[in-house]
Amino acid sequence: MPEVHVYMAEGRTDEQKRNMMLAVTRALVDNLDCPPDVVTVQIIESRWTDKMKNGRTFAERYAEKTPPGYQARQADQ
């Protein structure tokens, strides 16, 4: 019964998140030889102001440009 937690900054679309979770599920099924109904994948999202890399929040890092694939909230830009 594998369980995977994915930590990431918020902003991806529901479709992107669903596709990522399906890909993780397939990878576990293929590599662990387990049925998909025992695989759990959970996304844990953080606001851009609550996630930091190299001493700068994601909101600070991307104040000028939103990374491809993200839909940052206006308040966080």
Q: What is the tens place of the pLDDT at every residue in 32-52?
A: 999 999 999 999 999 999 999
Angle, CA 50 vertex, CA 9 and CA 70 arms, to 5°: 25
**Residue 60 buriedness (CB in 10 A; 0-12 / 13-18 / 19+):** middle
Domain hosting residue 7, numbered range: 3-76
The active-site residue, picked from 2, 35, 67, 68, is 2
Looking at the structure of the chain, the number of domains it has is: 1
Catalytic site residue 67?
no
Q: Tell me the mean pLDDT in the region 13-37.
A: 97
Which pTM was predicted?
A: 0.79
CATH number of domain containing 72 = 3.30.429.10
Average pLDDT, the chain: 89
